[in-house]
A and B are shown apart, each in its own frame.
Chain A
């Protein structure tokens, strides 16, 4: 009995192993067979993402087709992840929309993957800037942007590159020099070190302590009148 059970299990494992191997060795269709996922294609699963140069991307982002598709809003503005229920309880973002061969592995790809012309590149800062929080040099939250993890990583990498190539500027930290360290003849004490965004509002405009009356305090109110009356009537009823 035991032996048969074992053999069945072994056979099962063997067959499943074989199935898995078959899945792995399955032929990857060439782009010509599978087709390219152009923007007009509705269902893109299994198709290859077309390759475009950065000049093409920049001219596309200035074109009328782009303006009509996104209406001048950030490209993630009208993207909704395909999830059920509240956005607060959504699962973590998917790892990638385009697999290692360059094919879409689903139909509802993330806002950057789904557009054939779009990919992050430091030479086109306007696309990166759409994903920066307003007035800062930091990318917005991944769940807010709707990107897949891979695109979010590429966003951060290209943001770093754009900073280092000077296409996106930021507030550089202020370096305080102690002149005594650099000049022998200098004897003056350096001033208090300063930094960008290093002050707080209360240093500049301190709030005085103002006494406000307490609101809705739970004193001297007749909140238990109802029960007092209830007792009275209940007694009467008896």
Chain B
């Protein structure tokens, strides 16, 4: 049965090999290396693709040919024809003579020029001039959604390898990338690229991370809702809620993740493997996502969630109470519900807290002796602060103190201030003149 579709002619020209194939296809015939060739290392010595269009422009010969629609605008009136030929001006002739040479020279001089902008020391990332840990800006827009207020951090770039039967050990760059808008939205992903293409790997990662966005609820817009425990592989993470103004006290990679998400106060203890950054990220994010807000907790438990703030002398204040569930009464409560929320979620897991070991010399005789010798001066600091606060001395420099002593001495010798003479005080001995 005949097809209803009309016959589609795809081949437009069958005359010439060069006109039948596209440019890249033609180059491929010249530069490709076979699998076995790659295995033998011929990839490094293959022919490079020459950028011919940089050196030769269509129609730019001593006799300038203008093809309408190719290097000249289309003309509507047909009588002029599609081709027109013009003479080159003298300037153009001069330019075209040295053109190739000039382009090659430009390339040579630009080789060692490095324009790295100077970053603030706190934004320079984890190590040296590498991109790891630096701010990388917003990811590109996806399907019309733009990520203008997002900030991206690369947490790790590493070389991974895979064994294949053809090439043997194949190396790949893999980059762990986190992106987030600092208000609860964030995403993380691993981007991959061939060996040495670090930037490509990071860019791939950025693209992937911006497609895997999750949302984390933040308590007061600054910290986590509850202390949680999370683990992934051999990495165990204990995160703790902290008061306002505490800052981020955690693993450097977690600091970056927290900055991306928008957490401002947190303490995290990481136990086990601290160098498997992917597992670390995964554990931390899992823990964050498994949190519940106070409202959800109140719903789940059927109880009021009550805040007791030390600045208020632990006065209980209701933060959330159940809406769709009836309140429980005291008799139906289990022991678990009576726990305060600091101990409620860890299910008995606590981070290991080691007291700081005393230095070896702390009990040596000499050290104790030195401490005892400092004992008479223990109040010196508070006295210093008192004297400065009372405007006795403007600065704690020797000159300022000496001036103050001089002034007092003068007042006493002139009799403005009485001088105590009696018991317990040494006699005033005038200084000998040398």
Q: Establish whether A and B are touching in the complex (CB under 8 Å).
A: yes
- Residue numbers of A with Cβ under 8 A of B are 78, 80, 96, 100, 133-135, 150, 153-154, 156-158, 160-161, 164, 196-197, 199, 201, 204-205, 207-210, 212-215
- Contact of B388 with A by CB under 8 A: yes
User: B residues 319-358 with Cβ under 8 Å of A?
Assistant: 335-336, 338-340, 343, 347-349
Chain A residues within an 8 Å CB radius of B430? none
| Nearest CB of chain B from residue A69's CB, rounded to whole Å | 13
Chain A residues within an 8 Å CB radius of B395? 100, 150, 154
Among candidates B335, B388, B400, residue contacting A154 with C-beta atoms closer than 8 Å? B388
Hey, what's the 0/1 contact readout for B244-268 against A, CB within 8 Å counting as 1? Answer: 1110000000000000000000000
Ranked 4 nearest A-B pairs via Cβ: A134-B245, A212-B348, A157-B388, A80-B121
- Contact of B2 with A by CB under 8 A: no
Contact A153 B388, beta carbon cutoff 8 Å:
yes
- Contact of B82 with A by CB under 8 A: no
Contact A156 B243, beta carbon cutoff 8 Å:
no
- Cα A96 to Cα B336 in complex, Å, equals 55
| Nearest CB of chain B from residue A75's CB, rounded to whole Å | 14
Q: Which residue of B lies closest to A158 (CB)?
A: B389
Contact A208 B339, beta carbon cutoff 8 Å:
yes
- Residue numbers of B with Cβ under 8 A of A are 120-122, 243-246, 308, 310-311, 313-314, 316, 335-336, 338-340, 343, 347-349, 384-386, 388-389, 395-400
Contact B386 A160, beta carbon cutoff 8 Å:
yes
Among candidates A150, A153, A199, A210, residue contacting B385 with C-beta atoms closer than 8 Å? A153
Contact B335 A210, beta carbon cutoff 8 Å:
yes
- Cα A210 to Cα B349 in complex, Å, equals 12
Q: Which residue of B lies closest to A194 (CB)?
A: B313
Q: Which residue of B lies closest to A77 (CB)?
A: B122
- Cα A197 to Cα B396 in complex, Å, equals 35
Q: Which residue of B lies closest to A144 (CB)?
A: B247
Contact A135 B389, beta carbon cutoff 8 Å:
no
Contact A157 B245, beta carbon cutoff 8 Å:
no
- Cα A164 to Cα B386 in complex, Å, equals 11
Contact B385 A156, beta carbon cutoff 8 Å:
yes
- Cα A161 to Cα B389 in complex, Å, equals 6
Chain B residues within an 8 Å CB radius of A100? 395, 397-400
Chain A residues within an 8 Å CB radius of B398? 100
Chain B residues within an 8 Å CB radius of A133? 245
Identify 18 residue pairs between A and B in the complex whose beta-carbon atoms are under 8 Å apart, listed by A's number.
A100-B399, A134-B243, A135-B243, A135-B244, A157-B386, A157-B389, A158-B389, A160-B385, A164-B389, A197-B310, A201-B308, A201-B314, A204-B308, A207-B339, A207-B343, A209-B335, A210-B335, A215-B347
Chain B residues within an 8 Å CB radius of A135? 243-245, 311
Contact B336 A210, beta carbon cutoff 8 Å:
yes
Contact A208 B245, beta carbon cutoff 8 Å:
no
Chain B residues within an 8 Å CB radius of A205? 308, 314, 340
| Nearest CB of chain A from residue B65's CB, rounded to whole Å | 58
| Nearest CB of chain A from residue B253's CB, rounded to whole Å | 15
Contact B314 A204, beta carbon cutoff 8 Å:
yes
Interface contacts beyond A80-B122, A157-B386: sample of 20 additional A-B pairs, CB < 8 Å, sorted by A: A100-B399, A100-B400, A134-B243, A134-B244, A134-B246, A150-B396, A154-B395, A157-B388, A157-B389, A161-B389, A199-B313, A205-B314, A207-B338, A207-B339, A208-B335, A210-B335, A210-B336, A212-B348, A214-B348, A215-B347
Chain B residues within an 8 Å CB radius of A210? 335-336, 339, 343, 348
Chain A residues within an 8 Å CB radius of B348? 210, 212-215
Chain B residues within an 8 Å CB radius of A160? 385-386, 389
- Cα A205 to Cα B316 in complex, Å, equals 10
| Nearest CB of chain A from residue B106's CB, rounded to whole Å | 34
Chain B residues within an 8 Å CB radius of A196? 313
Among candidates A78, A156, A207, A214, residue contacting B122 with C-beta atoms closer than 8 Å? A78
Q: Which residue of A lies closest to B346 (CB)?
A: A212
Q: Which residue of B lies closest to A214 (CB)?
A: B348
Contact B385 A157, beta carbon cutoff 8 Å:
yes
Chain A residues within an 8 Å CB radius of B338? 207-208
- Cα A207 to Cα B308 in complex, Å, equals 14
Most A CB atoms within 10 A — which of B245, B246, B316, B384?
B245
Contact A197 B313, beta carbon cutoff 8 Å:
yes
- Cα A111 to Cα B410 in complex, Å, equals 38
Chain A residues within an 8 Å CB radius of B243? 134-135
| Nearest CB of chain A from residue B227's CB, rounded to whole Å | 14
| Nearest CB of chain B from residue A143's CB, rounded to whole Å | 13
- Cα A66 to Cα B395 in complex, Å, equals 26
- Cα A12 to Cα B167 in complex, Å, equals 71
Chain B residues within an 8 Å CB radius of A156? 385
| Nearest CB of chain A from residue B60's CB, rounded to whole Å | 50
Q: Which residue of B lies closest to A155 (CB)?
A: B385
| Nearest CB of chain B from residue A52's CB, rounded to whole Å | 16
